[in-house]
Structure formats: structure tokens, C-alpha cells
Structure 1
Amino acid sequence: MAKTTQLRTYTVRDGLLDEWMQRWKADILPLRLESGFTVGGAWVDREHNQFVWLISYEGPETFAERNAMYWDSPARKAINLDPDDYLVSTDERTVEEWY
């Protein structure tokens, strides 16, 4: 299966950016890695209250299938984190590595 990478830009609710970043690093990142994803980096744009990251998957399932498995997993449910509590909007773009 080909590698799929998404560039994700999240606009975070006012006053919650630092809390979101801590929750992402402590809860989401380890679980994504355990679920077979790789993360190419994460950045913060404080001026626009945005959190930007690259997530990839290369394996027997499609990115969408593996992502659904992640969301349905007991481990994901156990972290008790609803992105809607933090995020105003999300933009997810599938991108191809060029350089």
C-alpha cells in the first residue's frame, strides 16, 4: 500500500491553544504512533490560534481504514478527549511528498 500523508490545520478555541497542545502531545501523539501512524512534525501558529501537523500511514489498510480503527479503538475512547471541545475548525489535506 502507498504511503498517505495528511497536512492537518486546526483552529483552536480562544484561550485553549496551550491546553490543546499538551493534550495532543500527551494523549493523541502516543496513541497515533501506537496505531501505526507516523508524525512528521507539529507546529503552532499563535497569531492565528492554529495547530498544524503532518500525519502519515503506510500499511496494509488505507489511511481512512486505519484512521477509523484508531477512532474506534478502546484506547482512543479511554483518553476521553473530544476534539470539538477544543477545535473551532479543521482542515485536512492529503499531500504528496515532492522534495
Structure 2
Amino acid sequence: MGGTTQLRTYTVRDGLLDEWVERWRNDIVPLRLELGFEIGGAWVDRERNQFLWLISYRGSKTFAERNALYWASPERQAMGLDPDAYLLHTEDRTVERRY
């Protein structure tokens, strides 16, 4: 099964990088995994105040459909997490594994 993988790069507001990582790890990751996503890893680039991570979905729906389900879920709403409070800029790239 093919699937889709995205490399996501987030530029985080000054002073909030570690807090963002904790919220991502404790709130976002469990729900993403529950909904069938895979997390391929996550990194911080402190020099650029950026958070980078790989997210994949290889299910019966498209990535976009499953992502919409994530955002609309009651669990996501209950997080009380507004990404704009932490993130200045986001960039999502769809990538293909070659090695």
C-alpha cells in the first residue's frame, strides 16, 4: 500500500519550543496514532527555533480525508490547543522515501 508521507516544518514562537514539543508529544501524537497515522520521527532545530516531523498515512482514505477527520474529531477539539499560539509558520511537504 502506497500512502502519503509529509515532512512538516514548524517555526515556533520564541521561548515556546520546548512547551510546543511537550504538547505535541502528549496531546497530538496519541490522537494521530489512534487515527491510523504513523510518526516517522521528530527533531528540533534550536538555531532556527523550528520543529520538524514526519507523518504518514497508509489507510483506506486519502491523507487529506484522514487529516480532516483528525481536525474535526471531538478529541482534537477537547485538547484546547491552538497551533497559532505556538507556531509562526508551517510548511508541509509531501515526500517519497528513497532509502
Q: Same fold by TM (over 0.5)?
A: yes
CA RMSD in angstroms, aligned pairs only: 0.7
- The amino acid of 2:20's aligned partner reads W
Residue-pair matches, total: 99
Residue 90 of structure 2: aligned partner: 90
Once the two structures are superposed, what CA deviation does each residue of 1:63-99 show, in whole Å capped at 9, x if it has no partner? 0000000000000001110100000000000000111
- The amino acid of 2:5's aligned partner reads T
Residue 12 of structure 1: aligned partner: 12
Whether 2:47 is the aligned partner of 1:47: answer yes
Q: 1: CA distance between counterparts of 2:85 and 2:13?
A: 8
| Post-superposition offset of 1:45 | 0.2
Residue 77 of structure 2: aligned partner: 77
TM-score by length of structure 2 reads 0.98
Q: 1: CA distance between counterparts of 2:62 and 2:81?
A: 24
TM-score by length of structure 1 reads 0.98
| Post-superposition offset of 1:41 | 0.2
Q: 1: CA distance between counterparts of 2:3 and 2:61?
A: 10
| Post-superposition offset of 1:3 | 1.1
Gaps of 5+ in 2: none
Q: 2: CA distance between counterparts of 1:4 and 1:36?
A: 12
SS of the aligned residue for 2:66 comes to helix
Identity of aligned residues (%): 72
Q: 1: CA distance between counterparts of 2:22 and 2:45?
A: 15
Q: 2: CA distance between counterparts of 1:72 and 1:2?
A: 25
Gaps of 5+ in 1: none
